[in-house]
Each structure stands twice: as structure tokens, then as C-alpha cells.
Amino acid sequence: MAELKFRNDLIGGSAGIPGGPPRECCPGSAGKKPDFVIGTIMTASGPVEKVSTRLSSSDYLGHIRCRTTAFRNNYTIPPGIYAAGQPGEDSDILVSSNYKLSFDALRKELEGLNVWILVLDTRGINVWCAAGKGTFGTEELLRRISSTGIEHIVSHRRLIVPQLGAPGVSAYKVKRASGFTVCFGPVRARDLKEFIARGYRATDMMRTVSFPIYDRLVLTPMEIVPAMKNYPVYVLIVLVISGLHPDGILFRDAIAGGIPLLLLGLVAILAGAFITPLLLPYIPSRSFAVKGWIAGIFFVFPLVRFTWPDGGQDPILLGFSCLFFPMVSSYVALQFTGSTTFTGMSGVKKELRTAVPVYIVSGVISLVLLIIHKIAGWGPL
């Protein structure tokens, strides 16, 4: 490998260019180096932080918290230039987002490479979603190229942008405005080494987004958590309705009548938020609303008769359960369209045009059934 040197002849000319990653994001991180920084490299545009290509246990802990809680809303790193290995003037520039989960996914694949990483300010959003919003986009890339002075650090004019940045980054516009040629890299960071080794050519596989079971599984906690947010309200309503009696609220009725409904509600949510994403390719229909409904029926129906102490004798209550709970699963499953790699807006709109009226009508019928059940249960007043 060629000895990589800096163009010292440019240093004098670039004295006024601000160096290092700008620190406009990330309150709280000012002054304290993130623990993935393992050194500093002096360049023509100032010092550049060198990052580790190994993830630490605190990185992994952060990733778990991102996958499960709102912790991810502030999981950012300062935008700017970073170095992996010992890059020089001929080294590639990889463009990434400032969501630390994405940045980590990139840097852990860079062991043995000498590259620059240009991190855009995407407000802590991953590359693909940020590209959709435009924050990982042409303008931000051009801004970051000039604010970092990266053109003084390298002698070439090439950028490797992840392919999923293409909805935001327009290669021909970047070329026109900055002279940098955008080369779209593979979809997944783990293919980067092979992509570079092949002379910056991606195979069809590297260019295609898939959605395997593991990728779906890691998304399910953030389906379950929001769906469960309204569960306490549901618990309260169910207990009050179940216990409601002309003489007041009976605690024993609230528990006896309420628990089956609470249990079925929980099963319905899990069918929509966990089972449907997990078994996505195997559940019939392309519509997420129908998939969720099928999953709901599959899990709710066998349980309905077992959840009541009397074996579910009341046909009205059975009717309510078989109508209401699969609808809950369907609604929850429909939310997963926002997390997949293959659903588009026109399709989701089409689903909603049918699903929303169906949800409203079955919600009203469910309520009526519940009221009838309740009044019938009180007997003649």
C-alpha cells in the first residue's frame, strides 16, 4: 500500500478554513470527546478525529436502547470529518449520517481500511429516512463539503455516498456545484470492502434492499412500545365498564369481567405489533391491514372461549371479541408500513381508504355490542 501523505503545499493556503467537526448539534457533548475517538490526525484543514473500527459494550448498549426507547431521538454525533485507519490525500471519502447507530454500522466495517468519513447533519436520523426527508441531501452535502474544507485534505474529487442516500443526494447536482463525483456505494455497510475491492462496482445483491427476519425482529420493540402506550387507558375503561352496575362499580365484576378483555387486548396488540412483522412474508395478503387482521383472528379466536370462567357462553360478548380484537391487530399491523423497506405512500393511502371506514364502523358496532351485553347482564331493573 502506498505511503499516504498530506499535501503540505496546501496547508498555507487553507489557514482560514475552520477545521475539525463543527459542533452545532449534540448539547452535552461539547468539550468531551466521544469514546469512539481514538486519536487525532492533523490535516490541511485542521485536526480530524480518528475513530475506532471496533464497537464497545457501551456502543452495543446504546444500540439496544435505540431499538427500544426514545433514547434514539438524541443518539447523535457531531457532523464533520472523521478518519478511520491512516487516510491520506488519495483515500476515499465515505459519506454518512450523524445518527450514531448508522455511524457505528459504518465504522465497524472499516477495519483495515484507510478512509475519511464525512458525516452530514441529519438531526440524528438514519441515512435512508433522512434522504427521504432531504436532510441527508444535496444541500447539506454541499454545505458540509465547504464547511469542513475537505477539498484541501484530499487530492481527488470522489465521494462514496450510500446508495440509500440517493433519494436526497442528487449526484449530478453535487458534481455541478462542487466538482465532486458522487459514487453510490452499496446498500449495506458490510459490503463496502468488497465494493471497493471490485473497483467501486456493486453486485446486484449489494444494490438491493431485502427485509430478512432479523431486520424485522429488531424493529418490533418500537412497534410494541407505541401500541402499548394507550393500554393503561384501555385498562381503565375496561375495568370501569366491566364493574359498572346500576348500584355503582362492583370491584369483583370489574376484575372477573375485565381480565379476559385485558388479556385479549394484549394478545391482539402482540399479534399486530410482533407476530405480523415477524411472519410478514408468510401471512397471506399484501395488505398490512389484512395481514394484521388474519394474525389477530389466528391468536384471538382460539383464546376467546378459554378466557372467560363460564367458557364464553354469551354470544354477544363472543361476537364483540371476534369483531373488536382482530381489528385492533389490523390497526397495529398497519402502523408497521412506516418501518418496512418496501411500502410506498400510494399503497398505504389505498389501504387507509378502505381500512379507516372499516375500523370506524366495526368500532361503533363493537361498542353497541358491549353496551347490549352490559345491559342484558344487569337483568330486569
Partner 1 sequence: MGSTLKYLTGVSSLVLDPEKCTGCGVCMTVCPHKVFTRMEKKVTVTDRDLCMECSACVNNCAFGALTVDRGVGCAAALINSMINGGEPSCDCSGGPDKASCC
351 binds partner 1 (CB under 8 A): yes
CA 378 from chain centre, in angstroms, equals: 48
- Residues 174 and 142: beta-carbon distance below 8 Å: yes
254 binds partner 1 (CB under 8 A): no
CB proximity list for 351: less than 8 A, separation 6 or greater: 287, 288, 289, 334, 337
102 binds partner 1 (CB under 8 A): no
Q: How many residues does the chain have?
A: 381
344 binds partner 1 (CB under 8 A): yes
β-sheet bridge partners, residue 365: none
The minimum distance between CB 220 and partner 1, in angstroms, equals 14
287 binds partner 1 (CB under 8 A): yes
Q: Binder to partner 1 among 145, 153, 264, 280 (CB under 8 A)?
A: 280
Residue 8 or 346 with smaller CB distance to partner 1: 346
C-alpha cell at 262: 385485558
What is the DSSP annotation of 27-96?
A: TT-TTS--TTEEEEEEETTEEEEEE-SS--HHHHHHHHHHHHSGGGGG-B---EEEEESS--TT--EEEE
Q: Binder to partner 1 among 341, 360, 368, 378 (CB under 8 A)?
A: 341
The count of chain residues that interact with partner 1, using the rule CB under 8 A, is 57
The minimum distance between CB 219 and partner 1, in angstroms, equals 10
Residue 11 or 166 with smaller CB distance to partner 1: 166
Residue 84 or 187 with smaller CB distance to partner 1: 187
Which residues between 205 and 224 bind partner 1 (CB under 8 A)?
207-213
The minimum distance between CB 111 and partner 1, in angstroms, equals 26
Residue 83 or 164 with smaller CB distance to partner 1: 164
335 binds partner 1 (CB under 8 A): yes
d(CA 156, CA 73): 36
d(CA 43, CA 51): 15
The minimum distance between CB 226 and partner 1, in angstroms, equals 8
d(CA 130, CA 184): 16
d(CA 236, CA 262): 10
The minimum distance between CB 61 and partner 1, in angstroms, equals 19
β-sheet bridge partners, residue 120: 97
131 binds partner 1 (CB under 8 A): yes
Which residues between 144 and 203 bind partner 1 (CB under 8 A)?
163-164, 166-172, 184, 187, 202
Residue 301 or 359 with smaller CB distance to partner 1: 359
- Residues 10 and 19: beta-carbon distance below 8 Å: no
At residue 245, the 3 state secondary structure works out as strand
The minimum distance between CB 274 and partner 1, in angstroms, equals 17
Q: Binder to partner 1 among 94, 160, 334, 370 (CB under 8 A)?
A: 334
Alpha helices in 220-344 (DSSP H): 221-228, 231-243, 251-270, 276-278, 288-307, 315-335
d(CA 222, CA 298): 23
Binding site for partner 1 (CB under 8 A): 70, 72-73, 123-126, 128-129, 131-133, 163-164, 166-172, 184, 187, 202, 204, 207-213, 226, 280-281, 286-288, 334-335, 337-352, 356
